[in-house]
Amino acid sequence: MRIEPMNQATYESYLPVAIEEYAGDKCRAGTWSENEAFEKATEEFAALLPEGLKTKDHYLFTFRDETDSDIGMVWVHVTEESRGRSAFIFDVKITSDKQNQGYGKKALRSLEVILKRMNVKKISLHVFAHNERAIHVYDSLGYETTDYHMSKSLMDE
C-alpha cells in the first residue's frame, strides 16, 4: 500500500460525498436537524478548506494498493501547539469493497509514518459513537478516549 497526495479530480469527487456523509452523521448523532444539516456541513467544509487542496496546513491523501487501485483517503490538519506539532484527522475512509481486510489499519500506519517525518508528536480525531467499526480500528491502533460527549433525548419519554 502507498499513500500519496490527493489529486484535484479525486478531491472534486470526494467533497460532495463527504459533505453529504458528514451531514448524515450529524443528524444521526442528534446534533443537527435534517433541514439544516446539508447547509451547515457545506459551510463547515468551506470554512475548513477555503482553498481546497491548497489550504495551508491541511493535507489530503489517497491510499492505493499494489495494483494502483484506490483504497481510500485521509484528511489531516497539522498545527503547532505548546507541546509540539499535533495532527487532527478530519476524515478517513476506506472504500466499501476494501473494508474489513486490514486496509484501515495499514492506511493509518502509513499516515503515522508521514506525520512522524513532519515532526508531529500527537494524532487526534473525533469519531461518532455510532461508528463502531471505526472505534474498533482506532482502539486496536492504540488511540485512547480523551473525552465523552453524551446526550439524552427527552422527546421519547
Domain boundaries, the chain: 51-140
Q: Mean pLDDT in the chain?
A: 88
Contact, 19 vs 38, CB < 8 A?
Answer: yes
Measured distance CA(129)–CA(104) in Å, rounded: 18
Task: Please give the CATH number for the structural domain made up of 51-140.
Answer: 3.40.630.30
Confidence of residue 153 (pLDDT cuts 50, 70, 90): low
What's the pLDDT at 128?
67
When mean pLDDT is compared across 8-12, 41-45, 94-98, 130-134, the lowest value belongs to 130-134
Measured distance CA(134)–CA(5) in Å, rounded: 23
Measured distance CA(30)–CA(42) in Å, rounded: 18
Q: Which residues of 42-72 are buried (b: 16+ CB within 10 A; e: fewer)?
A: beebeeebeeebeeeebbbbbbeeeeeeebb
Residues 39-66 have a mean pLDDT of 96
Measured distance CA(56)–CA(126) in Å, rounded: 21
Contact, 87 vs 100, CB < 8 A?
Answer: no
pTM of structure: 0.82
Measured distance CA(106)–CA(137) in Å, rounded: 10
